[in-house]
Structure 1
Amino acid sequence: MVQKLPNRDEVKVVYTWNLADLFAAEEDFTNSLVDIEQEVQQFSEKYKGKVNNPSIIIEALTDYSAVYEKIVPAGTYASLSLSTDQTNTTAQMRANKFSSLSAKISSELSFLTSELVELPDEMILEASKLAPAFQHYLDKLLEKKKYELHPEVEKTLAAYSASFNAPYKLYNTTKMQDISFDNFEVAEKSYPLSYVSFENDWEAESDPAIRRAAFESFSAKLKEYQHTTAITYDMHVQMEKTTADIRGYDSIFDYLLLNQEVDRTLYNRQIDLIMNELAPHMRKYAKLLQKVHGLDKMTFADLKISLDPTYEPTISIEESKKYIDDALAIMGDEYLDMVDRAYKERWIDFAQNTGKSTGAFCSSPYGNHPYILISWSSRMNEVFVLAHELGHAGHFYHANKEQTIFNARPSLYFIEAPSTMNEMLVANHLLANSADPKFKRWVISSIVARTYYHNFVTHLLEAAYQRKVYERVDQGLNVNAQILNEYKRSVLEEFWGEAVEISEGAELTWMRQPHYYMGLYPYTYSAGLTISTQVAKRILNEGQVAVDEWTNVLKAGGTKSPVELAKMAGVDITTEEPLRDTISYIGSLIDELITLTDVIEHN
């Protein structure tokens, strides 16, 4: 049974991350904000109105990098301390303090971009030749040049950056602080409910009566907040639309895709092909779940159940390291050393506590080690989640060491490739080390139910829904709770067809995901997994050669476009072939699950 979550100050320190690696004491953080503000002022006095030749450009960008390298850990510290307990008023005030300072800094520093885009292209290109480390930054600047506004307008917009981030903060406040879930009852027995317990436990509960009751209770509570959450989201997308319009983009999609360095062809292909061609495979998987569990019908509330809930082993945090070490050993000693440090030096926050952000993420501040948030529930499935986040950590561990602060981060389109790659490596390792049909079925069902379902279904259906929202907003229209519910339900019904009954409340799942406040992010999960699926196959077949090429991709950071990075790893994403092959591979895994189930049931 799920227990009530402890408060943050009640959890064991050993299972929390060590933010002292960023700032040893609160006083150090406060002093850093003062130092940053002073350095920004000095930078402004030194360069404002004087960036007018190639050598000055390089000097200014070098100093700008140094300032930015101090801003990053401060912002990370404020953000991470809040993410572990959003009910903590000190953490809230700290985050607000940094947010206000960040807006002020952005406004003060906005002159640099404004002055650079006013210079002749030839001068920018000459500066790139003088300092290749800044070439990527300057190339992207030239791309954005036509969308830049008057310097005073840019300064004003930057000053409002904290306000532009307000919808996301409001969304999190509603979700993590205002929504308080009631216990739900089944057969006169009471069960506690929270965001974390629902997503970590009740969604996968094997008893259908408890699982469906939890879903109904969870959805009923979400429904009470649907109008506030919808207004919050509409505020966000309207600001994006206004920004796209005043900057002169043809559409909100072009605005949001520019930084991803891909065009709408790759974006639409990912959504359309999966919606059309993966759906039949996943419907077959849903029917398999229904058959194995003997369900009267398959509902949306049943989709996260395990194929064999009696078999899934539990695992301690300490035991998880052995699995991850063994699976990721192929990546080499340096990579394993990073994993070892992550455990030993408390880079990972494993604790479950009230107010902690849901899900899992990895934050990789430049100049510091990565931080991983996860709420460990002791399910073996969590090994895949942790491997995923360690994939992000390994990516930026390499990229941050090899690249400048402006070159380390790749396009959002590519960001999920290294993380999902690790999930594939874990799966391949587990499959290679057991011939037991039940264990094999558990591993393959974990790949399907976690790795592919999460990235190719959950997030992709978010993307299909999100595209409908942006198409509407691009026409100058607003959204409200009714419209968002209709869009979400229509996407779910289109994908699942007759195989799954879309339970009442399923349409509210748009309320659960913070990704909608991060631009066109949801579709990139399947894009990244498409690349990593192909590379994982290469590693299985070609070994060290493919590993070395992949490591070079990680080290390249953001110096190349997603198409170029994929090409370095031997994958051509300018064609449909990698995506079609990945969809076919998912289909083969589901067919294997059906075969293994027949073998197990007849033995």
Structure 2
Amino acid sequence: MVKSLPPRSEIASEETWNLESLFASSEEFDQALATLEQDSAAFEEKYKGQASDPASVIALLQAYMKLAEQMVPVSTYSNLALSTDQTNDEAQMRASKFSSASAKISSRLSFVTSELLALPTETLEKAMEESEEFHVYLEKLIRKKQYQLHPEVEKTLAAYSSTFNAPYSLYNTTKMVDMSFDDFEVNGKSYPLSYVSFEGDWEAEPDTELRRAAFAAFSEKLKEYQHTTAKTYDTHLQTEKTTSDLRGYETVFDYLLFDQEVDRSLYNRQIDLITTELAPHMRKYAKLLQKVHGLDKMTFADLKISLDPSYDPEITVEESKKYIDEALEIMGDDYLEMVDRSYSERWIDFAQNKGKSTGAFCSSPHGYHPYILISWTGRMNEVFVLAHELGHAGHFYNANRAQNVFNARPSMYFIEAPSTMNEMLMANHLLKNSDDPKFKRWVIASIVSRTYYHNFVTHLLEGAYQRKVYERIDAGQSVNANVLNSIKRGVLEDFWGDAVEITPGAELTWMRQPHYYMGLYPYTYSAGLTISTQVSKRILNEGQPAVDEWLEVLRAGGTKSPVELAKMAGVDITTEQPLRDTISYIGELIDELVSLTEEIEGQ
């Protein structure tokens, strides 16, 4: 039964992560931030106006890289301490203090990019030849040359960076601090509700009356904040559009895709093909859920239920480690050592408490170990979530050791491939270990409902919705709650057709996703999963050679484009074939669920 969330102060330390590898105390953090401010001032004084030839460019970048490394633990500590309890005054003030200091530092350091791009391209290319360490950094910098503004404008824009980030902070404050859910009632009995309990428990509640009542109560609370949240989002969108125009990008899409290192054809293909070709398969899955659960009708509030709730066993944190170790064993001893350390050294925050960020994420600070946030509900599907986040951890555990702080992070387009790869490895491992039709159906249903529904449907439909929003913004228009609700409802209705009733409240799901404040992020989940689906098949069929190639891809970090990284792993994403193969694979899984259900019911 879902319980009310306790305050952070009541959580046992073993359920929380240990941030002491970053800083042992707040005082240590304050000192590091003060030192960073002093060092950035000294850096500006020493290096501003000095870059003129390849040797001085390399000297500038070596000193600049040291400052970037210094920034990592300060930034990470500030963000992570707030993410576990956004109601904590001290954490709020620390995050604000860092944000303000970071804006000043960014403004102070903006001369680096401006001065380097003011040099002849030949000078930068010569520096690239003389320093392998900064080759990729300078190559990416040269790409930006045509979009660079006057040095004083760049300095001013950097000084406003914390202001430009304010909409995301406001969104989180509204969602995690101001929004307080009342209990809801069913048949005279009261049940507690929160963001975490709704997304972690109530959405998947087998009791239809309880589940639909929780959805209605949750939606009613979201509705109270829709206008403020929409205004916050519109402010973010207008800032992106203004920046895009100022820098001379043709469209806001070109601006947002620039750092992803992919063109609009890859972006549009991912959205267009999935919304048209995956829809029939997912409608079949929705009808199967309706039939198995004996529902009068299939509504949006019913889409997250398990095909067989009796086969969704409870699992402890300790038990999860055994599953994960066995599933990821194929990745090798070094990878497994990282997994073991993540448990024993408290890299993972498992707790459920008031004020904690929703969902799950992995933060991988360069020079330090990764940190994972998850709200452990005890459901078996959490093993897939944890495997996913450990995929991010394993990616950067490898990339951060092999690459410098400038080169470790790949394009956002590729970022979800290593995470979804681990979900596929988990599924393959579970399928290998049982011939029982009910268990097999549960595993395949988990792949469909957790891995593919989450990444290929939930996030992809967010991407389709987001594209329509940006088309309005690009045309010089704005958005409000009514517009956003209308767009979201339209996207959901187009995809689900008459298989699912889009009940009131479904249109408000745009309010639940922080990814909208991170550029064109949502569609990249399906892009990453397209790659990982193909590579996981290779690992299943070819074994060690495919694993070795994948580990090489992880170590490459951001030194290659998404197309090059996928090619290293044997996948050609310049064609439609990998995506079509993946959609076809999802269809096969759903067909297998239908036949397994018929077999089970016929026994």
- For Structure 1 versus Structure 2, the TM-score category normalised by the shorter chain is over 0.9
2:350 maps to amino acid: F
Structure 1 residue 116: deviation in Å? 0.6
1:314 maps to amino acid: E
The aligned residue for residue 131 of structure 2 is 131
Q: Given the alignment of the two structures, is residue 184 of structure 1 paired with residue 155 of structure 2, yes or no? A: no
Q: SS in structure 2 opposite 1:310?
A: helix
Q: Given the alignment of the two structures, is residue 196 of structure 1 paired with residue 229 of structure 2, yes or no? A: no
Q: Given the alignment of the two structures, is residue 227 of structure 1 paired with residue 231 of structure 2, yes or no? A: no
Q: 2-side partners of 1:597 and 1:484: how far apart? A: 38
Q: 2-side partners of 1:318 and 1:538: how far apart? A: 30
2:397 maps to amino acid: Y
Aligned counterparts, 1:330-345, within 5 A:
330-345=330-345
Unaligned runs of 5+ in 1: none
Aligned counterparts, 1:426-465, within 5 A:
426-465=426-465
Aligned counterparts, 1:479-558, within 5 A:
479-558=479-558
1:552 maps to amino acid: E
Q: 1-side partners of 2:381 and 2:12: how far apart? A: 22
The aligned residue for residue 346 of structure 1 is 346
Q: 2-side partners of 1:344 and 1:62: how far apart? A: 35
Q: 2-side partners of 1:421 and 1:12: how far apart? A: 32
The aligned residue for residue 245 of structure 1 is 245
Aligned counterparts, 1:163-182, within 5 A:
163-182=163-182
The aligned residue for residue 18 of structure 2 is 18
1:329 maps to amino acid: E
Structure 1 residue 287: deviation in Å? 0.1
Residue deviations 1:547-584, cap 9 Å, x none? 00000000000000000000000000000000000000
The aligned residue for residue 91 of structure 1 is 91
Q: Indicate the larger mover: 309-318 or 532-541.
A: 309-318
The aligned residue for residue 111 of structure 1 is 111
Q: 1-side partners of 2:311 and 2:101: how far apart? A: 51
1:68 maps to amino acid: A
Q: 2-side partners of 1:585 and 1:62: how far apart? A: 47
Q: 2-side partners of 1:31 and 1:137: how far apart? A: 30
The aligned residue for residue 468 of structure 1 is 468
Residue deviations 1:102-126, cap 9 Å, x none? 0000000000100011010100000
Structure 1 residue 133: deviation in Å? 1.4
The aligned residue for residue 568 of structure 1 is 568
Q: 1-side partners of 2:244 and 2:312: how far apart? A: 48
Q: Indicate the larger mover: 294-303 or 132-141.
A: 132-141
The aligned residue for residue 478 of structure 1 is 478
Q: 2-side partners of 1:446 and 1:12: how far apart? A: 30
Q: SS in structure 1 opposite 2:362?
A: strand
Q: 1-side partners of 2:249 and 2:201: how far apart? A: 44
Structure 1 residue 25: deviation in Å? 1.3
The aligned residue for residue 281 of structure 2 is 281
Q: 2-side partners of 1:552 and 1:539: how far apart? A: 14
Q: 1-side partners of 2:42 and 2:57: how far apart? A: 16
Q: Given the alignment of the two structures, is residue 409 of structure 1 paired with residue 420 of structure 2, yes or no? A: no
2:380 maps to amino acid: M
Aligned counterparts, 1:58-77, within 5 A:
58-77=58-77
The aligned residue for residue 265 of structure 2 is 265
The aligned residue for residue 292 of structure 1 is 292
Aligned counterparts, 1:571-590, within 5 A:
571-590=571-590
Structure 1 residue 516: deviation in Å? 0.2
Structure 1 residue 218: deviation in Å? 0.4
Residue deviations 1:239-269, cap 9 Å, x none? 0000000100000000000000000000000
Structure 1 residue 592: deviation in Å? 0.4
1:149 maps to amino acid: L
Structure 1 residue 310: deviation in Å? 1.4
Q: SS in structure 2 opposite 1:351?
A: coil
2:326 maps to amino acid: D
Q: 1-side partners of 2:527 and 2:325: how far apart? A: 26
2:593 maps to amino acid: L
Q: 2-side partners of 1:6 and 1:82: how far apart? A: 17
Q: Indicate the larger mover: 310-319 or 524-533.
A: 310-319
Structure 1 residue 466: deviation in Å? 0.2
Q: Percent identity?
A: 74
Q: SS in structure 2 opposite 1:306?
A: coil
Q: 1-side partners of 2:482 and 2:52: how far apart? A: 53
Structure 1 residue 42: deviation in Å? 1.0
The aligned residue for residue 254 of structure 1 is 254
Residue deviations 1:502-550, cap 9 Å, x none? 0001000000000000000000000000000000000000000000000
Q: Given the alignment of the two structures, is residue 312 of structure 1 paired with residue 312 of structure 2, yes or no? A: yes
Structure 1 residue 498: deviation in Å? 0.4
Q: 1-side partners of 2:348 and 2:201: how far apart? A: 21
Q: SS in structure 2 opposite 1:176?
A: helix
Q: SS in structure 2 opposite 1:574?
A: coil
Structure 1 residue 26: deviation in Å? 1.2
Q: 1-side partners of 2:454 and 2:144: how far apart? A: 33
The aligned residue for residue 593 of structure 2 is 593
Q: 2-side partners of 1:568 and 1:115: how far apart? A: 35
1:98 maps to amino acid: F
Q: 1-side partners of 2:536 and 2:64: how far apart? A: 38
Structure 1 residue 311: deviation in Å? 1.6
Q: Indicate the larger mover: 21-30 or 496-505.
A: 21-30
2:601 maps to amino acid: E
Structure 1 residue 72: deviation in Å? 1.0
2:585 maps to amino acid: Y
Structure 1 residue 52: deviation in Å? 1.0
Q: 2-side partners of 1:246 and 1:74: how far apart? A: 31
Structure 1 residue 601: deviation in Å? 0.5
Q: 2-side partners of 1:329 and 1:458: how far apart? A: 30
Residue deviations 1:221-254, cap 9 Å, x none? 1001000000000000000000000100000000
1:285 maps to amino acid: Y
The aligned residue for residue 383 of structure 1 is 383
Q: 1-side partners of 2:557 and 2:179: how far apart? A: 39
Give the length in aligned residue pairs. 603
Residue deviations 1:18-45, cap 9 Å, x none? 0011001111100001110111011101
Structure 1 residue 132: deviation in Å? 1.1
